[in-house]
Structure 1
């Protein structure tokens, strides 16, 4: 059962990353909230290297695939992300901020390892950053006033990708912490799925603003036509 749930999680999150890469280039933006992107990339690269040194396993392969996919999403962040900020944020300011964000993300992951060890630290940090990500996806939809850089595929696959290890570690391994955080992730993920469905049905509802938002018109047209990724 553990192997099946690991495979489900690996497949679901791989779908998230592939969809994020696709919609990121299509809408010329980043499709994973920036704080969550930094923490995810740090987690995956650190534990991919750690697991390779310890021996190859299904989760090691998954971590490597995720890290490589995340690397492309990191590129979309630095290539297109400046447009998501106010004009006073220059390209150089944005780049420095991005580098600082990723450096801080690595520091946080290493602090988890120092405090809890690699095995427990990996679980605690993974679920806490997943909870952060679940909330940040909702915040991103609201901040962008629509579905620019977001799809229903990402929303559903993110939920399933977190639900699988919640069942594996939280229920089968009897971890109350993981089960509790995983349930909270599902609450926010299901709320986000509902918001995405609502935004697809009402593409102009969130886009009402006095200040033009970069890419908003394209996102509204894509959602209205139904031609974009789902």
Structure 2
């Protein structure tokens, strides 16, 4: 059972990353909320590096593959993310903001490791950032006023990819903290799936790029 759940989670999250790359390139945007993306990328780099240093395991290989996939998703954000922001956000400001978010992702992961140790930190941080991602996906849907840069496949695969380790660590290993976070993830993930599948015709305008938010005119001019 443990092997089945581990494989299910690994395959499902791989589907999330591959589909996020495809949708991001198709719609000329990024398909994962940037705060969650930064935490995910940092998680994979930190734990892949740890596995390489201590003896590469199958999970370590998966972490390397996921890290490469997240790097591609990150490149779509860096290329198209500024178009999602108000016009006053200049290129230098966007670059500084992106560096801050990415650096914060690494700082958070290292703080988890320092406090909990590698084994527990890898689980606790993963579920907490997963819950954040679940909420941010719904926020991204609302901010974009529809499913542009998103897909039901991403939503369903993310749900299954989180549900499997929730059962493994939360139910089978009886970790109440993980079980609670995993259950909350499922609630948000199912809401997000419902948003994406409720009206298939709503995806017709998914490729439209929103106009930048303009500053109000200066009455003194």
- Given the two structures, how large is their TM-score scaled by the length of structure 1? 0.87
Query: Residues of 1 paired with 2:199 and 2:67: CA distance?
Result: 30
Query: Residues of 1 paired with 2:71 and 2:170: CA distance?
Result: 29
Query: Residues of 2 paired with 1:87 and 1:48: CA distance?
Result: 38
1:135-192: per-residue Cα shift (whole Å, max 9, x none)?
A: 0000000000011110010000000000111111111111100011000000000010
Find the counterpart in structure 2 of residue 12 from structure 1.
Answer: 12
Unaligned runs of 5+ in 2: 211-221
| Corresponding position: 1:78 with 2:55 | no
Query: Residues of 2 paired with 1:199 and 1:57: CA distance?
Result: 43
Query: Residues of 2 paired with 1:198 and 1:49: CA distance?
Result: 41
Shifted more, 195-204 versus 28-37: the winner is 195-204
| Corresponding position: 1:217 with 2:208 | yes
Contact 1:6–1:165 (8 Å) recurs in 2: yes
With over 3 angstroms needed to count, the CA separation of the structure-2 counterparts of 1:95 and 1:62, relative to structure 1, is same
Corresponding residue SS for 2:198 = helix
Contact 2:44–2:63 (8 Å) recurs in 1: yes
Query: Residues of 2 paired with 1:109 and 1:83: CA distance?
Result: 29
Contact 2:159–2:189 (8 Å) recurs in 1: yes
CA shift, 1:200, in A, is 2.5
Find the counterpart in structure 2 of residue 2 from structure 1.
Answer: 2
| Corresponding position: 1:127 with 2:127 | yes
CA shift, 1:58, in A, is 2.3
CA shift, 1:52, in A, is 1.7
| Corresponding position: 1:99 with 2:102 | no
* 4+ residue runs over 4 A deviation: none
Query: Residues of 2 paired with 1:74 and 1:202: CA distance?
Result: 27
With over 3 angstroms needed to count, the CA separation of the structure-2 counterparts of 1:50 and 1:69, relative to structure 1, is same
1:184-217: per-residue Cα shift (whole Å, max 9, x none)?
A: 000000010001112434458xxxxxxxxx9753
Structure with higher RCO (Cα < 8 A, 6+ apart): 2
Q: How many residues align?
A: 210
Find the counterpart in structure 1 of residue 154 from structure 2.
Answer: 154
Corresponding residue SS for 1:217 = coil
CA shift, 1:51, in A, is 1.3
1:90-134: per-residue Cα shift (whole Å, max 9, x none)?
A: 111111100110001100000001111111011110000000000
1:7-46: per-residue Cα shift (whole Å, max 9, x none)?
A: 1111101100000001101111110000000000000110
- Given the two structures, how large is their TM-score scaled by the length of structure 2? 0.91
Query: Residues of 1 paired with 2:34 and 2:174: CA distance?
Result: 32
Unaligned runs of 5+ in 1: 205-213, 220-230
Contact 2:41–2:71 (8 Å) recurs in 1: yes
Contact 2:146–2:206 (8 Å) recurs in 1: no
Find the counterpart in structure 2 of residue 46 from structure 1.
Answer: 46
